[in-house]
Chains A and B, each alone.
Chain A
Amino acid sequence: MMKYISCLIVISVLFTSCEKEEIKQITYRVNEAYTPVEINYLDKDGEISTVVFAFESIEDEWTYNFEAKPGDIFYASAMYSDSLSSVSIAVLIDDKVFREKYSEKEPRRYTTVSGTIP
């Protein structure tokens, strides 16, 4: 009988060791612009997508959400053409800002946030 008790103990302990892979919610957020901005970002399929978003006021915001694993690459960059404009670009992990950059009066220069998900 004790053999089986030991066996059950060992097996139950063994099975408590398994871990599920962590999935994180990633959000690219672009705002604080009031002129059109070209946004390049690495999408959920691992491809570079390009969108031109016509910001009209500083209240406008562009976001993109997807799920990713730790170690996946994130990349988003924004560029505006108007010499007096600005843009803020951020990457949020599980709704918390992980990396953020701001540009003002730097037309035709890419502002990029990139890295790997911790």
Chain B
Amino acid sequence: MRKQEQKWLLLIFIALLMGNVDILAQGRILGYIYNSKTQEPVNEAIVKLNPGNKRFYSTNQGFFYFDKLKAGNYQLLITHVGYPDTTIKVELDKNEIKEFNIQVVSEYEHLEAVEIQSRFIKRPPYLQAKVSREVIEKRSVSDVGTQLRSTANISGIRKGGTSIDPVVRGFKFSQLNVQANTGQKIEGGCPNRMDPATSHIEIEDIESIEVYKGPYTFRYGPALGAVINLNTTQPVVYDTFGVRLRALKGFIGNWNGEKDYLAVNGGNRYWYFNFSGSNKDFGNYEAGNGKTVRSEYKKYHYRGQVGFTPSQNHSFIFSYNHSGGNDIAFPALPMDERSDQTNLISFDYKARNITKVIGGFSMKLYHSGVNHEMDNKSRPFSDTVVAVSEIEAMNRGLRSEIQLELRSSQLIIGVDYENISKDGERVKNMIRQPGLPVKREDLWNNAFITNLGLFGEFETKVGRYNLVLSTRADINQAQSDDMRITAPGMGEIYHYASDSIETMHTNFSLSAGLTRQFSDHISGSVSIGRGIRSPDMVERFIMLLPIGYDDFDYLGDPQLKPEENHQMDLTFNYRQKKWGQVKVNTFYSVVRNFITGKRLPPAQQMPLSKDVIGVKRFYNADWANMTGFELSYGSPLIYNTGIRFQSSYTYGFIKEAPVYITNDAGEVVDEEIIENDALPEIPPFEGRLTFHGNYIGNKLKPELTLRAVSAQNHVSESYNEPATPGFFTADFRLTYLHRTMLTVNGGIRNIFDKTYYEHLNRNIIGTSRPFYEPGRSFYINLVIDIK
């Protein structure tokens, strides 16, 4: 047995000795806390239960929970800055489960009474997915992209063992607005998206992930396909000085991977802090066929936050986060990531209950800096040329909003600004040539984009109708120094003069959504939206790099027009306490000025990279269409055993696309235009069924997930995309809450050791070999939470 595994078993053994199993008391008290005016969940409220002196900090969904309770009379005390203390008496019978929806009233409003009722809670009319830390910990995933792949109609593009790039309903890359803590944007350094924005936030620090599907909410910035908001843990306000420690140690068998995480937070009513750090070291994994897949990586991060609340309704938080990665293998790309150094800094000010009308004000200033270094040293071609690229990417900006409470309505207005800059070059060391000549090529040449936006979101409730209107206006400017590439002996092989590089777009986005509550159990929603996003750095300024799905060098076009998504969603929701919840959604989207690539004739532009068949330049195609559905069912949580089911499908095509005909040597010999070609990288139909349970006084929680994915035969001819076969996998998870401060969870992924790959996994570079997913993997985590 390896030393590492021995250490693990010893750790678990010691931990298990520290407690005993109480299987007699199975009563539970749980519920949600909402602001009675806004219907927003109240998070980080302290919920105390007496007798027993138990304490729970409500989650981002306002959720709280106490278990293994004996029959008797209890008292719940809810305290939170900005709200008066609330006491609720609870009479609990043996093994009874009591659930509450608690409405609390802001301190500066007239306090009538605390309402406890199962009244209609406002829901946005468009689909949103929220994933909490509890769920993330249970699955023991190593990055945000992997976690998102378990959400309905969200897939991911895999190019390496980590940093999976999310795809929501077929929308990807800059069609998704990804940010941290409502407003902090991050610009990845790699033109090949080794480091999408989601990869710069450590999964262990995440409190919740919110996904808003469609071009409907514009509070978060321009939204075309979806908004992904990654909420990290925040310092907690304690009524008296307290410290809380949270630690995690995890091990994953197949990858020989190990991860550690430690977080300490504490403080009192006036000042508070939150410090955390993590370390991950993962090796290569074996696919189901026993073949080793290069997937190794090392990552670490540390984070510090300090907060100050000078008076009850005002708070300031300063955050600093540094994350790094080393030797991250990307076998589907021409290079591996050698080093990543990311600094995320933010300053937040929040005020609430300023006047009777001004319910809240918030302001965020941030700086996100990424230093990304990649090379081809682990590739066979490095015997001839060692290429090293280093890129500095920065996103700096601000976001501010004010919430106005207008009787039964709420109006949010605000402003956001971001400045994205990128600079970097590729250094080619010709190590076989005498004198070791070195060639330098610009990847970006002092390129920058600024975006200034004004937004407004109005929500009102009239009888059984809930109406949400959202809008924003953006002024987007972009500039770069000359785009120029020269090569020895060939002179200037590409030049785009800076006098016509500068562009400015003014974009207006708008959406409306209506929810009708037909009865206490049934509701229906319709949303219509037009979301616009300006072209990104790659689409505007990239210079002859093979960054696409196909074997072409890509060229940016500074004069691209913004992409517009016109979309409609219909959602039907049935919720019944005894039977559970069914949700059906269908969407239809037309993307005008769809940004994609078109080949340039060799006479106009020759490629620069090895093993590519030509050059494509980004252009605005007329339109593309995406349509699909999502269906989900969840049994009620009041039962000890339950099921969850979700299925989804997206069908995407483009009106007209060029198809390239190649000869045996791989040279393009002809070109033709075809109609209604499939869009590339659209996930196939999939269904997921999960059986779950809560046993032994809610201490033991097993879960079995079966996942069936169909073949994808609707593939892009224009991108020469291959069809992929369907597959079936099964995962098992088990969580054991030993004591309130100790949780052990573990599981088996891919129980039947299937050899399979997702449709969105890129092929191993230079081959037609698929990038297989891991074979059977065992994992175990130990979580210690000391309050």
- Using a CB–CB cutoff of 8 Å, the interface residues on chain A facing chain B are 2-3, 5-7, 9-11, 13-14, 16-19, 40, 42, 48, 71, 73, 75, 77, 79, 110, 112, 114-116
Contacts and interface: CB of A to CB of B under 8 A. Distances in A.
A48 B437 CA distance: 10
A10 B249 contact: yes
Contacts of A75: 429, 431, 436
B436 A114 contact: yes
Nearest to B248: A10
A48 B741 contact: no
Complex A-B, nearest 5 residue pairs according to Cβ-Cβ distance, in ascending order = A114-B431, A10-B247, A116-B377, A110-B434, A14-B260
Contact of B432 (A13, A18, A114, A116): A114
A51 to B, nearest CB: 14
A87 to B, nearest CB: 14
A112 B377 contact: no
A3 B246 CA distance: 11
A3 B338 CA distance: 39
A16 to B, nearest CB: 8
B435 A48 contact: yes
Contacts of B386: 73, 115-116
Interface in B212-257: 245, 247, 249
Nearest to B382: A116
- Give the most central of B432, B741, B742: most A CB within 10 Å: B432
Interface in B127-158: none
Contacts of A71: 327, 338, 375, 377
Interface string B379-412: 0001100100000000000000000000000000
A85 B742 CA distance: 74
A110 to B, nearest CB: 4
Given A40-B435, A71-B377, A17 B786 contact: no
A14 B375 contact: no
A7 B786 contact: yes
Given A2-B18, A9-B11, A14-B249, 11 more contacts: A6-B784, A7-B784, A10-B262, A11-B262, A14-B247, A17-B258, A17-B281, A40-B436, A42-B436, A71-B377, A114-B436
14 contacts: A6-B15, A6-B784, A7-B786, A9-B14, A10-B247, A14-B247, A17-B258, A40-B434, A48-B436, A73-B386, A79-B434, A114-B383, A115-B431, A116-B382
A44 to B, nearest CB: 15
A98 B92 CA distance: 74
Contacts of A115: 382-383, 386, 431
B7 interface: yes
Interface residues of B, number: 30
A20 B741 CA distance: 33
Interface of B: 7, 11, 14-15, 18, 245, 247, 249, 258, 260, 262, 279, 281, 327, 338, 375, 377, 382-383, 386, 429, 431-432, 434-436, 741-742, 784, 786
A14 B279 contact: yes
Contacts of B327: 71
A29 B279 CA distance: 40
Contacts of B784: 6-7, 10
Given A6-B741, A10-B262, A71-B377, A17 B434 contact: no
A92 B434 CA distance: 20
A112 B432 contact: yes
A87 B260 CA distance: 52
Contacts of B249: 10, 13-14
Report which residue of A3, A5, A42 has the largest number of chain B beta carbons within 10 angstroms of its beta carbon.
A3
Contacts of B281: 17, 19
Contacts of A3: 741, 786
Contacts of B245: 7
Contact of B262 (A14, A40, A112): A14
Which residue among B11, B279, B327, B431 has the maximum number of chain A CB atoms within 10 Å of its CB? B431
Nearest to A117: B377
A78 to B, nearest CB: 10
B278 to A, nearest CB: 9
A2 B742 CA distance: 11
Contact of A13 (B11, B338, B382, B741): B11
B330 to A, nearest CB: 15
Contacts of A7: 245, 247, 784, 786
B279 A73 contact: no
B786 A6 contact: yes
Contacts of B383: 114-115
Given A6-B18, A14-B249, A14-B260, A112 B742 contact: no
A42 B741 CA distance: 56
Contacts of A2: 18
A11 B784 CA distance: 11
Nearest to A19: B281
Given A6-B741, A14-B249, A112 B260 contact: no
Contacts of A5: 14, 18
A112 B436 CA distance: 10
A58 B501 CA distance: 62
Nearest to B246: A10
Contacts of A79: 434
Given A6-B15, A18-B279, A48-B436, A73 B431 contact: yes
A14 B204 CA distance: 14
A18 B616 CA distance: 45
B434 A6 contact: no
A76 to B, nearest CB: 10
A5 B786 CA distance: 11
A16 B14 CA distance: 18
A16 B6 CA distance: 14
A8 B541 CA distance: 52
A77 B432 CA distance: 9
Contacts of B260: 13-14, 17
Contacts of B15: 6, 9
A14 B782 CA distance: 12
A6 B15 CA distance: 7
Given A6-B18, A10-B262, A71-B375, A77 B382 contact: no
B709 to A, nearest CB: 35
A77 B386 CA distance: 16
A16 B260 CA distance: 10
A14 B249 CA distance: 8
Contacts of B377: 71, 116
A14 B250 CA distance: 11
A19 B299 CA distance: 12
Contacts of A42: 436
A9 B327 CA distance: 29
A2 B18 CA distance: 7
B18 A73 contact: no
B431 A13 contact: no
Most buried by B among A5, A71, A110: A71
Contacts of B18: 2, 5-6
A36 B714 CA distance: 67
Contacts of A17: 258, 260, 279, 281
A6 B742 CA distance: 9
Contacts of A40: 434-436
B596 to A, nearest CB: 36
Nearest to A77: B434
Given A114-B431, A115-B383, A13 B786 contact: no
A19 B14 CA distance: 26
A58 B247 CA distance: 64
Counting chain B CB atoms within 10 Å of each CB, which of A9, A10, A75, A115 scores highest? A10
Nearest to A1: B18
Contacts of B7: 13, 16
B430 to A, nearest CB: 9
A84 B429 CA distance: 32
Nearest to B438: A48
Contacts of B436: 40, 42, 48, 75, 114
A17 B277 CA distance: 13
A5 B377 CA distance: 45
